[in-house]
């Protein structure tokens, strides 16, 4: 059960107490704002235009949303801390609500009647998509969307975070095997004389069909009600076991999802701190490569935005990302064409004052300055090279080059060597960091070391985004 963590920041003071819901925007420069929204989750966003977070024609070339989602059992936590934002002017955000005008996230019990099985085996809303009350779900989802997003012109990020089961039968492994079991059980009840193979094939077919219909209908209803929102499912496209090439066919089978989505929200969380820099960058690159491939094939006509989810710490709350890990998970998405990133964290890391203070220090000393350096660079690059009508992306970045994607597809046996070579040639700092746990570098120097080209916003074309386009 989700409970709410309320935050109140009294105007004119530099301390806060977790009591009420408020939303603020922190202006770091005249053009860069940091949006803070707290209730069930904390959301910070960086954009060049605080009034237009992801507008089709003029959304920023780099957006950062920091979402600290609270699943705590505590109704109130009383902490008095000095926020690192105090040097900046503060302005109320429209709505003063968790469901704000920048980003909305719907979890499993916040949008309609999502079927799922609890750890104790109790089945909610039918348990599996084949038994879900679809029409009741869509009516409830419509009400939830209208209540959460009263503004019919809402144009922010709209993420549906459903993780109890996956839409392809084959991917429901480990703790999700219960959905396979119940699906086969349902088939056996209808066809008691069928053999195991017949039961499995029918269960797979029925599950995939029902999951598709349930998720597609939800997405379609959401877009019908709030057509300007950037709607999509968290964690898709995904690369199972960090191998995107081997799961590409499965992602193609989810083309119905990507064709309907107006936002793609893949996860690029770093799992293991002990992994090499090349392996970490490989995972981020492969996921982004697959996301751009999916975008080109299924989502480009929707003018979708690509906004990966990442974190700023590992599962161990004391292991915060260093600058190198931030470079891999934030800079690589930025310079390869993503519209932004979402930084997520668990409320477990905010259950005492010491953890809150350590996070505050990290935000003010490491993450905050890092993001300001990046956004300043990209803002200036957009102005100088793209007439403020496009986003600067690294020239020849293989993530967005279809010929490289095709090449890698046919060299799976030599993938590691090929990818490592590409990594070293395009990101020379990986080689320099090879045996370093805390590499020393200048973010600004790395950003300036690349040659950039323009990725024009809708309505603009040409090498400098100075030609109007109706495509």
Position 312 in a domain: yes
Active site residue 163: yes
β-strand partners of 34: 26, 46
DSSP 213: H
Q: Write out 338-400 in H/E/C secondary structure.
A: CCEEEEEEEHHHHCCHHHHHHHHHHHHHHHHHHHHHHHHHHHHHHHHHHCCCEEEEECCCHHH
Cα–Cα distances (Å) from 351 to 76, 312, 356, in that order, read: 10, 17, 8
Position 142 in a domain: yes
- For residues 471 and 465, give the distance between their C-alpha atoms in angstroms, rounded to a whole number: 13
The most confident of the ranges 223-237, 376-390, 438-452 is: 223-237
Position 25 in a domain: no
pLDDT tens per residue, range 106-156: 999 999 999 999 999 999 999 999 999 999 999 999 999 999 999 999 998
Burial environment of residue 194 by CB neighbours within 10 A (0 to 12, 13 to 18, 19 or more): middle
Two tokens, residue 99 = 């469901």
β-strand partners of 206: none
Closest to 148 in 3D by CA, of 160, 132, 137, 136: 160
Are the C-beta atoms of 106 and 160 separated by less than 8 Å? Answer: yes
Owning domain of residue 272: 60-384
Are the C-beta atoms of 214 and 238 separated by less than 8 Å? Answer: no
Position 371 in a domain: yes
| Residue entry with tokens 């012109």 | 153
The most confident of the ranges 44-48, 95-99, 272-276, 293-297 is: 293-297
Pairing of strands 41-47, 33-38: antiparallel
Position 407 in a domain: no
Burial environment of residue 372 by CB neighbours within 10 A (0 to 12, 13 to 18, 19 or more): middle
The confidence score (pLDDT) of residue 449 equals 65
What length is written for the chain? 471
Position 36 in a domain: no
Query: Catalytic pick from 91, 152, 163, 315?
Result: 163
Share of the chain above pLDDT 90, in %: 38
pLDDT tens per residue, range 374-393: 888 888 888 999 999 988 88
pTM: 0.77
The most confident of the ranges 1-15, 181-195, 292-306 is: 181-195
Position 68 in a domain: yes
The confidence score (pLDDT) of residue 62 equals 30
Position 432 in a domain: no
Q: Comparing 174 with 97, which gets the higher pLDDT?
A: 174
The confidence score (pLDDT) of residue 341 equals 86
Cis bond upstream, residue 320 (ω within 30): no
User: Could you give the number of structural domains in the chain?
Assistant: 1
- Output the domain CATH number for residue 271: 3.20.20.70
């Amino acid at each position: 059960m989700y409970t709410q963590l309320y935050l109140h920041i009294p105007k004119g003071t530099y301390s806060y107490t977790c009591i009420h819901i408020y939303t603020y925007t922190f202006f770091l420069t005249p053009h860069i704002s940091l949006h803070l929204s707290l209730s069930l989750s904390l959301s910070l966003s960086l954009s060049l235009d605080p009034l237009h977070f992801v507008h089709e024609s003029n959304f920023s070339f780099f957006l950062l949303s920091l979402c600290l989602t609270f699943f705590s059992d505590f109704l109130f936590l009383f902490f008095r801390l000095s926020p690192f934002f105090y040097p900046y002017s503060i302005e109320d955000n429209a709505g003063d609500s968790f469901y704000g005008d920048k980003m909305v996230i719907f979890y499993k019990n916040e949008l309609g009647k999502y079927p799922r099985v609890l750890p104790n085996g109790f089945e909610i809303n039918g348990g599996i998509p084949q038994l879900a009350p679809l029409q009741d779900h869509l009516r409830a989802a419509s009400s939830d969307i209208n209540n959460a997003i009263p503004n019919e012109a809402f144009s922010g990020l709209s993420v549906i975070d459903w993780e109890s089961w996956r839409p392809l039968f084959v991917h429901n492994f480990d703790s999700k095997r219960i959905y396979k079991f119940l699906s086969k059980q349902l088939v056996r009840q209808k066809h008691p004389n069928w053999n195991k193979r017949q039961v499995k094939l029918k269960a797979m077919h029925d599950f995939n069909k029902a999951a598709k219909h349930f998720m597609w209908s939800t997405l379609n209803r959401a877009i019908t009600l709030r057509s300007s929102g950037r709607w999509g499912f968290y964690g898709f496209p995904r690369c199972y076991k960090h191998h995107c090439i081997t799961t590409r066919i499965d992602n193609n089978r989810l083309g119905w999802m990507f064709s309907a989505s107006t936002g793609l929200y893949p996860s690029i969380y770093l799992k293991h701190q002990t992994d090499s820099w090349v392996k970490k960058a490989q995972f981020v690159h492969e996921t982004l490569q697959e996301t751009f491939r999916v975008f080109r094939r299924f989502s480009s006509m929707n003018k979708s935005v690509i906004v990966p989810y990442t974190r700023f710490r590992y599962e161990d709350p004391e292991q915060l990302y260093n600058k190198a890990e931030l470079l891999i998970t934030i800079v690589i998405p930025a310079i390869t064409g993503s519209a932004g990133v979402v930084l997520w964290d668990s409320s477990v890391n905010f259950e005492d004052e010491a953890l809150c203070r350590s996070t505050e220090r990290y935000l003010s000393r490491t993450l905050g300055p890092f993001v300001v350096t990046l956004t300043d660079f990209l803002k200036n690059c957009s102005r100088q090279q793209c007439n403020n009508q496009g986003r600067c992306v690294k020239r020849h970045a293989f993530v967005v080059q279809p010929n490289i994607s095709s090449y890698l597809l046919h060299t799976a046996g030599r993938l590691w060597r090929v990818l490592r070579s590409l990594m070293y040639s395009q990101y020379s700092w990986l080689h320099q960091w090879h045996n370093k746990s805390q590499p020393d570098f200048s973010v600004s120097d790395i950003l300036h070391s690349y040659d950039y080209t323009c990725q024009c916003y809708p309505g603009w074309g040409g090498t400098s985004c100075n030609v109007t386009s109706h495509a």
